[in-house]
Structure 1
Amino acid sequence: MANLISAEQLTVVHGSRTLLDGVSLGVSEGDRIGVVGRNGDGKSTLLRLLARTQEADGGRVTHTGGLRVAVLSQTDTLVPGATVREAVLGDQPAHAWASQSRVRDVVAGLLGDLEASDVGGLEAVVSTLSGGQRRRVALAALLAGDHDLVVLDEPTNHLDVEGVAWLAEHLRTRWPAGSGALLVVTHDRWFLDAVCERVWEVHDGVVDPYEGGYAAYVLTRAERSRVAAVTEERRQNLLRKELAWLRRGAPARTSKPRFRIDAANALIEDVPPLRDTVELAKMATTRLGKDVVDLEDVTLAFRGKTLLDRVTWRLGPGDRVGVVGVNGAGKSSLLRLVNGTQAPDAGRVRRGSTVVVATLTQEVLELEEVGELRALEAVDKVASHVRLGDRDVPAGQLLERLGFTAQRAWTRVDDLSGGERRRLQLLRLLMAEPNVLLLDEPTNDLDTDTLAAVEDLLDGWPGTLVVVSHDRYLLERITDRQVALLGDGAVRDLPNGVEEYLQRRAVLKAAGAARTVAAGRSAATAGRGAATPADGAAARAARKEMARLERQLEKLARREEQLHAQLAAQATDLAAVTALDAELRALTGERERIEESWLEVSELVE
């Protein structure tokens, strides 16, 4: 593979701290590299150096001739007075960009929500957009271009689960195999596994490379740590032996430990389950009783839009529930109903008499009142220890588990970084010993190591847990079931998790597009024998048929996804590929036939 970037002996010093110390590495064509590390260890700095938007204090970065690099930083550079169309598509006429499949995909995948909102779609002015919408526009502007190397710094920020899945698929298929290159800093571990084939860990002034995505990185890092511990133990033993030999005049002896990759399996062989759900549920029942929070026939509207429509939803002791949904569907409103800060328009919310709710909000305003205190003092002000599982854990130990060194534990709260403040906010909530914990986008400002520590902490927490997050890995890691808000006023269980949510959304989008086409056809044929909307029993029968066809489309979508996965796995088997391709073509024809039937039926219920 052709080399795109060479970095030699890069050194960066920030104040009294060395972020990078003589780092040498390279980026080649075909690379898909994820960059991880603790907040403040130099991940974003490394990206800027490689993109040559920042100069190193020492060393040099060389680009191959004519290299086209695109960079998405954490702050956008959009022109406030420009429209979304101008920011993303420049002055291209509609027929020009619409004829490019990649650009059409980007516009539909990232900007479709703007068309559905009241901001004005592609004609919206950038300065009128929310932070999340601006982020999508900046990402769309980058991906609409043609580049050899794409550098992304936290691209999943402000993207929902659906947006993250779309971005992962786009980056997987953006370049042919072996061409183009991707460098991405992200805390989204599912995204790392879905997109990246190598991982760079930035820490203590160095960059350690790992082959594979996030899962492979965790396994290999654990093995390296094991070997390092064994090596250090052997070294200490050798030193003692050498001293004994020296006393007797014998020559020193040394040995080298062998690196055995299968030892990684031994690391996890005897590891117990993540959490003892039966024991935690028993403890939760003791603390909570049988009744926790029940929403009964609840209706809630906001600005004329019905978010919940006669919803009945029950939370029991020890339930661990993840909530996903489209933006504006009412996820945060659902949390407010549970914690009692919002009342329903109709129906009622019942809470058990022993329920104590704590909510981790998306802001960290709760820390303003303790800004002058040290981190440990801010925790001690709530409690000096907490009951976690079946044992008492002191505040200092919990601070250490969440990544606070002895020095940082005695740092003023106002001087902590965003990620540290987020961790402190969560820890203070846990120290109050609530028995119902609500987390609203808890991954904001947290790196992968900190997220693992938070998950480990929550594994032993007995109580009812509700998590709203776009972080698919986190949801599947710390919750036992997921529910979805699809914007239709209902709370729907997802037996197959986030994957089922994405499939449901795909069906709904296809149905929405079909309705648009049907509406156009109805308008075009008005007065010329167009289908007449049905009434009464006929309309009910038509809706029932539409539901049946939608279920068939959903089943076909799942099978189509399976076929694509099989094609990728058996790419070298010509006979298998031929058979799978034939099945895929037949399935595509069947899907088109069902979509046509859906269109015809839908005209009867317009």
Structure 2
Amino acid sequence: MPVLTAHDLHKAFGPQTILDGVTVTIRTGERVGLVGLNGSGKSTLARILAGVEQPDSGTISRRRGAEIGVLSQDPVFEPSDTARDVVLAGLSAWHAAKARHDEVSRALAAGSGDAEALLAEQAEAAADVERLGGWDMMHRVDAIIGHVGVTRPDAPMSVLSGGDRRRVALARLLVSRPALAVLDEPSNHLDVETVEWLERYLVEEHPGALLLITHDRYLLDRVVERTLEIDKGKVYSYDGGYEEYLEQKAERLALEARTESNRQNFLRTELEWLRRQPKARTGKQKARIQRAETTKAAPPPKAERTAQLSVESVRTGKTILELKKLGLAVDGKWLVRGLDFSLTKGERVGIVGRNGTGKTTMLRAILGQLEAGADGAALSDADGPTMEGEVVLGKNTSVAYFDQHRSGLDLEKSIFENIAGSHTRVEVGGRSMDVRSYLERFLFDPNKARQPVGSLSGGERARVALAKMLTQSVNVIILDEPTNDLDVMTLAALEEMLIELDGSALVVTHDRWFLNRVATSILAFEGGGRVVRYAGNYDAYREQRAHTAAEAEAEAAARAAKLQAAEPRPAQAAAKPAARAGDKPKLTFAERTELEGIVGRIDAAEQKVAELEAKLADPTLYASRGADVAGLLSELDREKQEAARLVSRWEELETKREAAGKG
């Protein structure tokens, strides 16, 4: 049963046609992706389907009573409302269903009214409560707030960053559990772990239909069951996720190419026939001429536009960048301590980790925006971050930086002015280019070059920022969340450019597809000041982490069992014969002392793990101190690792002690 059907939608902005006879149906519970170039009309179509915006013509029918929830790219809130207030506002339907259930239950208890009718109404209200999240929804709200990364649930919206506001809006939509959720770029401003949680939630827990607009190809591939593409005002439907979409689109384009080839062959044949005929025409001849004219007048399929990105590299030495004992702190809390890292020519390092673990702060240090004191001593800048250690750039290292806020753009100026100022040409790759021709490489219509950047969509602004950055000659490219808002076509072009780059790259991103294509290694900020480098792309990194975690769990379980069975009793220890004078001790005094105390340390570490697990299992934590959840999870991970390390050390010392006893 359809939750929504739109028929023959048309929409234009001035002379530009956005939707040209679009028909779309979304079925109950169906998960649909929407893709297309930046500026193609994805957000416009989504707003029209949700009822936020009206089409110029066409009809939309929505299932009676079906609630449609929308996550826009720029959500608006009351400044004085707290983040928790905003999220709880998403429970209006749940509160209404529960209030109805409570009212009917009271009527039944009082014996008033038709008992059979009241029982039926009670069952219906109970079903609505279950559909909208269940009876423990208030606990689940706090869990969702924590999962999406809202660390300050009691802060007013007026003091939150744009990324925090987006996370609050996402949490509000998820708890509302609408019949159709329209999510416009939901993964923007989320870290990789949160995107993976969102992926699981949408597949396993979201009860309604879904219209997902995203550049995140992993999210598309793993969540959606059908993909819509908007292209030149038309919408094409493909079964399956992103991979199936690519395959089916290739087939469609090949069919269009064959159709155009057949049309051209027909025209050549007919024109040749016309040239051979006398001027006097029979009725059949006139009909044939008319068919030829009609075929000739039909427009050919428009060529598929693709971005063409390139950068001029400058020569450099083998080592481009070194971090020596780097420490980074914010508000007195050390995020990174003692980090040693080097970047050599040809390496492309993906940087991942939860928000707030120091990824962007490290980029600031590399860019020279932070400074350590004499001999690498800690020194705070005026904005708050503290840095210690040393950042060393190699000889001739030249860096280009793409920041996630696109702060290098002047929104009042045009696309043209942002790229070239008052000039009409730019230097690219050692040669001079007309600015409009250069902009065409980034999919900008030359006629719109004078359009103010402030009037552009988020994806179009990102393309302007890319175009501006790539006019530089560099050998290191640093990208901070480059995939936010970019369409998949531009992302593919950016990936190809980085792969072919005659230099190196550092990329902070939550886009797993991008990391799999580009990264040669992963630098993971794992919390608690722990930063680890893994060889390979994102999938290789996940496999290594999973393997390490599985090994640690298995070893910890085995060692704990052995520890329990082999722990010496005091009487046994007293009965051991004294070592012979000629024996060579296997354990040093320090090791014997360590062994004597290590069992107690293991017990203490395991007790700490148990305490943290108990805290995280307490529902009141999420209601009263939801902002502490992420920190407790990180602490639990550290304590588990410490317990495993101690058990491993005990086994090592115990083996050595047993060998000494046998000697």
User: TM-score scaled by structure 2?
Assistant: 0.65
Alpha-carbon distance, 1:601 to partner: 6.1
SS at match of 1:363: coil
**The one of 203, 214, 217 aligned to 1:172:** 203
What code does the residue aligned with 1:30 have?
A: G
Alpha-carbon distance, 1:410 to partner: 5.7
CA shift in 2, pair 1:601/1:362, >3 Å: closer
What code does the residue aligned with 1:386 have?
A: G
| Residue of structure 2 equivalent to 1:131 | 162
CA shift in 2, pair 1:413/1:34, >3 Å: closer
SS at match of 1:184: strand
| Residue of structure 2 equivalent to 1:149 | 180
- Output the CA distance in 2 between the equivalents of 1:420 and 1:598: 46
| Residue of structure 2 equivalent to 1:529 | none
Of stretches 47-56 and 395-404 in structure 1, the one that deviates more from structure 2 is: 395-404
Deviations 1:458-498 (A, max 9, x none): 33321110011122222222222211112222321234654
**Structure 2, unaligned stretches of length 5 or more?**
99-128, 278-283, 293-308, 373-377, 379-387, 553-592, 609-635, 648-663
| Residue of structure 2 equivalent to 1:265 | none
What code does the residue aligned with 2:487 have?
A: D
CA shift in 2, pair 1:601/1:196, >3 Å: same
| Residue of structure 1 equivalent to 2:585 | none
Alpha-carbon distance, 1:538 to partner: 6.2
Deviations 1:235-276 (A, max 9, x none): 212211222233445987999xxxxxxxxxxxxxxxxxxx9x
| Residue of structure 1 equivalent to 2:397 | 355
- Is 2:409–2:418's contact at 8 Å kept on the other side of the alignment? no
| Residue of structure 2 equivalent to 1:477 | 517
What code does the residue aligned with 2:171 have?
A: A
| Residue of structure 1 equivalent to 2:60 | 61
Alpha-carbon distance, 1:377 to partner: 3.6
Determine if the alignment matches structure 1 residue 364 to structure 2 residue 392: no
Determine if the alignment matches structure 1 residue 111 to structure 2 residue 146: yes
- Is 2:19–2:234's contact at 8 Å kept on the other side of the alignment? yes
- Output the CA distance in 1 between the equivalents of 2:138 and 2:424: 54
What code does the residue aligned with 1:364 have?
A: R
CA shift in 2, pair 1:428/1:496, >3 Å: closer
- Is 2:515–2:537's contact at 8 Å kept on the other side of the alignment? no
SS at match of 2:474: coil
SS at match of 1:13: strand
| Residue of structure 1 equivalent to 2:124 | none
What code does the residue aligned with 2:244 have?
A: A
- Is 1:386–1:393's contact at 8 Å kept on the other side of the alignment? no
| Residue of structure 1 equivalent to 2:14 | 15
**The one of 233, 237, 260 aligned to 2:261:** 233
CA shift in 2, pair 1:547/1:432, >3 Å: farther
Alignment map for 1:565-604 (pairs within 5 Å):
none
Deviations 1:50-95 (A, max 9, x none): 22232222111111222232222223344433334433235979xx
SS at match of 1:399: helix
What code does the residue aligned with 2:183 have?
A: L
| Residue of structure 2 equivalent to 1:162 | 193
| Residue of structure 2 equivalent to 1:422 | 462
CA shift in 2, pair 1:113/1:396, >3 Å: closer
**Structure 1, unaligned stretches of length 5 or more?**
256-274, 512-534, 551-593
What code does the residue aligned with 2:489 have?
A: D
Alignment map for 1:483-494 (pairs within 5 Å):
483-494=523-534
- Output the CA distance in 1 between the equivalents of 2:219 and 2:474: 32
| Residue of structure 1 equivalent to 2:481 | 441
- Output the CA distance in 2 between the equivalents of 1:100 and 1:503: 39
CA shift in 2, pair 1:460/1:546, >3 Å: farther
SS at match of 1:358: strand
CA shift in 2, pair 1:76/1:83, >3 Å: same
- Is 1:36–1:202's contact at 8 Å kept on the other side of the alignment? yes
User: TM-score scaled by structure 1?
Assistant: 0.71
- Is 2:419–2:467's contact at 8 Å kept on the other side of the alignment? no
Determine if the alignment matches structure 1 residue 328 to structure 2 residue 359: no
Alignment map for 1:177-196 (pairs within 5 Å):
180-196=208-224
What code does the residue aligned with 1:82 have?
A: D
CA shift in 2, pair 1:375/1:601, >3 Å: closer
**The one of 435, 440, 458 aligned to 2:498:** 458
CA shift in 2, pair 1:546/1:312, >3 Å: farther
| Residue of structure 1 equivalent to 2:508 | 468
SS at match of 1:155: coil
Deviations 1:172-211 (A, max 9, x none): 01257xxx31111112221111111111111222111111
- Is 1:374–1:412's contact at 8 Å kept on the other side of the alignment? no
SS at match of 1:287: coil
What code does the residue aligned with 1:385 have?
A: V
CA shift in 2, pair 1:81/1:366, >3 Å: closer
- Output the CA distance in 1 between the equivalents of 2:522 and 2:316: 22
Identity %: 38
Determine if the alignment matches structure 1 residue 70 to structure 2 residue 54: no
Q: How many residues are aligned here?
A: 497
- Output the CA distance in 2 between the equivalents of 1:47 and 1:226: 29
Alpha-carbon distance, 1:128 to partner: 3.6
- Output the CA distance in 2 between the equivalents of 1:55 and 1:79: 25
- Is 2:410–2:418's contact at 8 Å kept on the other side of the alignment? no
Greater relative CO, 1 or 2 (CA 8 Å, sep 6+): 2
- Is 1:384–1:395's contact at 8 Å kept on the other side of the alignment? no
- Is 1:10–1:60's contact at 8 Å kept on the other side of the alignment? yes
| Residue of structure 1 equivalent to 2:46 | 47
- Is 1:13–1:19's contact at 8 Å kept on the other side of the alignment? yes
What code does the residue aligned with 1:54 have?
A: E
Alpha-carbon distance, 1:378 to partner: 4.7
CA shift in 2, pair 1:195/1:547, >3 Å: farther
CA shift in 2, pair 1:437/1:600, >3 Å: closer
CA shift in 2, pair 1:371/1:128, >3 Å: closer
RMSD over equivalenced CA pairs, Å: 4.3
SS at match of 1:486: strand
| Residue of structure 1 equivalent to 2:586 | none
- Is 2:418–2:468's contact at 8 Å kept on the other side of the alignment? no
Deviations 1:527-586 (A, max 9, x none): xxxxxxxx9656766778999999xxxxxxxxxxxxxxxxxxxxxxxxxxxxxxxxxxxx
| Residue of structure 1 equivalent to 2:249 | 221
- Output the CA distance in 1 between the equivalents of 2:352 and 2:170: 22
**The one of 384, 399, 403 aligned to 2:427:** 384
